[in-house]
């Protein structure tokens, strides 16, 4: 990644590929709008300034201060840049609006210094009322095919990214997290579930991976081992010639998702969540949304405890979101999709920072 | 022990010496931070991806650098000589394979040693070698990008632009084996 500062307007003057990347992004934004509007989705305009955010222990936020002046005097309060439109869109569903989408800038602090992350990025979130995550898998496939038809109609069945040819026309490959762990690391994660504590156990998982060169220390968490295994032994070996839908994540890593229906509901082991990986890029994160206010209180508490344990900067928590759930949110499923990464794929762009105007 | 994992570092991993060829900070959307690396095993030469937890400590190897003369290579090993002691050392061929096409017998190279074992070559980022065989140079247009076969003085066959002739020296990036330009002396 280049750290030399060059004003973006000069970059656009000199670099044809940077100009093309920007034009492609504008074009794709329009096609996304068309796709959802044609399907009867309502477009939301999510507010950027938020008085409170849903606690998510792995996110760092941008905080600012609002100052207002009146005859009565001055007042000020903290406000935060939205990390995603999720809370807003779900409250609007509670308010009685139907299936919807929002194209919005979102902001996350403390992101990795890499060619795949930006502090300010373009996010698409859509919510499908009365649908579950399997329905959204199909919508996601259709959205990619629709955009491919529009931006390269001469070859709509394929994406070519960094020398990899990806077939998006056939149904995408679907595989659950636990099947990936069984296949690539010979570990059944359900066997690392501790029925006493009703949580995943780092001790049980550590025992199963003794043969691997993975260090387990006293402070190592189950989540760390889970991701270390996923990143080391699974992700690099996923198919590169088709998009891969990885589904059913651990519920404790998916606090806003609905626990998976079926035999494991009572234990909260899995959540109805999927991510799509295309040519090694993580493109989106989707849940069947949790509608249970009591469960959401518990995950709020767990996330807040985790924020405190990590010594992270705290912020106002969005308890109003729980109030909204308590009043009753319709069954729905939502997808958060990184538009910049989608444009990278369609434009065969290696580095996301072509869309970063601050560097 | 250190938790400052970075590129081009020698570490002991899984009881074997390894070289970190790539390193990147990584944070999954809903998880802790990690350092993703590519590890080159210095016993086998194999490169595998690995992930370290953020803050995880690794044993950094203290390596020594020594200039040695390249003598010859056979199917399994590359042989070097310490010119001050005339002692001969060997390096597993799998650990030097990518550099061999650009190495000249009799030349000195910087060898990386761990304990008393040769583990790698600190190869220059660019080497200059003479062309000993190629078709006649095509004068004139130097911008077309068309390439032809040529043989280096090391015996390695590679692609060079049409205007390069026998006896000329070219610059090469040994990491990618790519032609980088005509050497002007």
Whether B1 and chain A come into contact, CB under 8 Å, resolves to no
State the average pLDDT for chain A.
94
Angle between helices A16-38 and A339-347 (to 10 degrees): 120
pLDDT of residue B147: 87
DSSP characters over A133-169: HHHHHHHHHHHHHHHHHHH-TTSTTEEEETTEEEE-S
pLDDT in tens, A296-348: 999 999 999 999 988 888 999 999 999 999 999 999 999 999 999 999 999 99
Contacts of B51 in chain A (CB under 8 A): 227-228, 231-232
Q: What is the pLDDT of residues A148-174, one digit of tens each?
A: 999 999 999 999 999 999 999 999 999
Residues of B in contact with A275 (CB under 8 A): 29
Give the residue from A227, A273, A351 with the most B CB atoms within 10 Å of its CB, the best one to mutate.
A227
**How is domain A8-169+295-355 classified at the CATH fold level?**
BirA Bifunctional Protein; domain 2 (3.30.930)
How confident is the model at residue A1, as a pLDDT?
44
pLDDT of residue B2: 82
**Residue A2: per-residue pLDDT:** 46
Whether the per-residue pLDDT at B144 is higher than 80: the answer is no
Question: Does B56 share its domain with B71?
Answer: no
Cα separation, A42 vs A98, whole angstroms: 7
The shortest CB-CB distance from A282 to any of B13, B29, B32 is to B29
Q: Per the CB < 8 Å rule, is A112 touching B27? A: yes
Residue B135 lies in a domain: yes
Assess whether B56 and B67 both reside in one domain.
no
pLDDT at position A266 is 60
Q: Is residue B3 part of a domain?
A: no
In a domain, B4, yes or no: no
**Closest approach of B181 to chain A, Cα-based (Å):** 23
pLDDT of residue A85: 97
ipTM of the complex: 0.82
CATH number for position B53: 2.30.30.30
Residue in A213, A227, A282 closest to B13 by CB: A213
From A310, which residue of chain B is nearest by alpha-carbon distance?
A: B32
Question: Cβ B28–A228 below 8 Å, yes or no?
Answer: no
| Residues of A in Cβ contact (< 8 Å) with B33 | 112
Chain A interface mutation, best of B11, B30, B46, B54, highest count of A Cβ atoms under 10 Å: B30
Enumerate the domain spans of chain A: 8-169+295-355
| Tally of domains within chain B | 3
Q: How far is CA B13 from CA A190, A208, B17, B47, in A?
A: 29, 20, 6, 13
- Which domain CATH number covers B140? 2.40.50.140
Q: In Å, what is the CA distance from B26 to each residue of A140, A246, A264, B38? A: 25, 19, 31, 13
Do B72 and B103 share a domain, yes or no?
Answer: yes
Give the residue from A312, A198, A83 showing the smallest Cα distance to B32.
A312
Note down the domain range covering B47. 10-60
Instruction: Please check whether residue B53 lies inside any domain of the structure.
Output: yes
Q: Verify whether the Cβ–Cβ distance B53 to A114 is below 8 Å.
A: no
Question: Is the Cα dihedral A294, A295, A296, A299 positive or negative?
Answer: positive
The residue of chain B nearest to residue A236, with distances taken between CA atoms, is B49
Angle at A318 between CA A112 and CA A99, to 5 degrees: 85
pLDDT of residue B3: 82
The yes-or-no verdict on residue B175 having pLDDT over 70 is: yes
What is the average pLDDT across A115-134?
95
Residues forming beta bridges with residue B157, ordered by sequence position: B151
DSSP 3-state of A240: coil
Q: Which of A57, A209, A215 should we substitute to test contact with B (largest number of B Cβ atoms within 10 Å)?
A: A215
Half-sphere exposure in the Cβ direction for A35 (13 Å, CA): 23
pLDDT at A232 over 90: yes
User: Residue A17 — φ and ψ, nearest 5°?
Assistant: -70, -30
- Pairs of residues, one from chain A and one from chain B, whose beta carbons lie less than 8 Å apart: 57
The pTM (predicted TM-score) of the whole model is: 0.86
For A63-119, how does the pLDDT look when each residue is reduced to its tens digit (9 = 90+)?
Answer: 999 999 999 999 999 999 999 999 999 999 999 999 999 999 999 998 888 888 899
């Amino acid at each position: 990644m280049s750290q030399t500062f060059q004003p973006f307007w000069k970059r656009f003057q000199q670099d044809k590929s940077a100009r093309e990347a920007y034009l492609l992004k504008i074009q794709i934004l329009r096609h996304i709008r068309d796709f959802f509007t044609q399907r009867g989705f309502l477009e939301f305009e999510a507010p950027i300034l938020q008085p409170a955010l849903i606690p998510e222990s792995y996110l760092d936020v941008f905080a600012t201060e609002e100052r207002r002046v009146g005859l009565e005097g001055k007042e000020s309060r903290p406000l935060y840049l939205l990390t995603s439109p999720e809370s807003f869109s779900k409250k609007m569903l509670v308010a009685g609006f139907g299936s919807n989408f929002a194209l919005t800038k979102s902001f996350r602090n403390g992101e990795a210094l890499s060619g795949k992350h930006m502090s300010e990025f373009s996010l698409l979130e859509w919510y499908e009322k009365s649908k579950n995550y399997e329905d959204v898998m199909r919508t996601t496939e259709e959205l990619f095919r629709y955009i491919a038809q529009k931006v390269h109609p001469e070859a709509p069945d394929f994406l070519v990214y960094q020398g990899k040819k990806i077939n998006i026309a056939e149904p995408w490959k679907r595989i659950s997290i636990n099947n990936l762990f069984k296949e690539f690391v010979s570990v059944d994660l359900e066997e690392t579930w501790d029925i006493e504590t009703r949580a995943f156990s780092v001790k049980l998982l550590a025992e199963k991976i003794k043969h691997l060169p993975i260090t387990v220390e006293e402070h190592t968490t189950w989540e760390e081992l889970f991701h270390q295994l996923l990143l080391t032994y699974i992700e690099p070996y996923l198919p590169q010639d088709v998009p891969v839908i990885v589904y059913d994540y651990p519920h404790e890593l998916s606090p806003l998702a609905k626990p998976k229906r079926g035999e494991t509901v009572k234990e909260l082991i899995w959540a109805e969540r999927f991510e799509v990986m295309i040519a090694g890029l993580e493109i989106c994160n989707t849940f069947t949304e949790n509608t249970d206010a009591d469960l959401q209180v518990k995950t709020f508490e767990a996330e807040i405890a985790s924020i405190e344990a990590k010594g992270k900067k705290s912020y106002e928590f969005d308890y109003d979101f729980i109030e909204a759930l308590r009043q009753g949110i319709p069954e729905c499923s939502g997808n958060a999709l990184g538009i910049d990464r989608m444009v990278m794929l369609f434009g065969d762009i290696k580095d996301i920072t072509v869309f970063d105007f601050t560097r | 022990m250190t938790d400052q994992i970075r590129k081009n570092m020698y570490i002991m991993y899984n009881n074997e010496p390894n070289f970190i060829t790539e390193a990147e900070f990584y944070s999954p959307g809903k998880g802790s931070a990690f350092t993703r690396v590519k590890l080159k095993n210095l016993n086998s030469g194999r490169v595998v991806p690995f992930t370290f937890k953020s803050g995880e400590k690794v044993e950094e190897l203290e390596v020594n650098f020594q200039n040695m003369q390249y003598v010859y290579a056979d199917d399994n090993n590359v042989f070097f000589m310490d010119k001050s002691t005339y002692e001969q050392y060997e390096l597993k061929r799998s650990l030097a394979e990518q550099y061999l096409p650009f190495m000249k017998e009799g030349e000195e190279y910087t060898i990386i040693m761990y304990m008393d074992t040769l583990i790698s070559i600190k190869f220059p980022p660019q080497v200059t070698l003479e062309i000993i065989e190629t078709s006649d140079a095509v004068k004139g247009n130097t911008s077309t990008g068309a390439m032809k076969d040529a043989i280096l003085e090391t015996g390695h066959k590679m692609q060079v632009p049409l205007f390069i002739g026998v006896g000329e020296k070219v610059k090469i990036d040994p990491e990618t084996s790519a032609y980088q330009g005509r050497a002007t002396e």
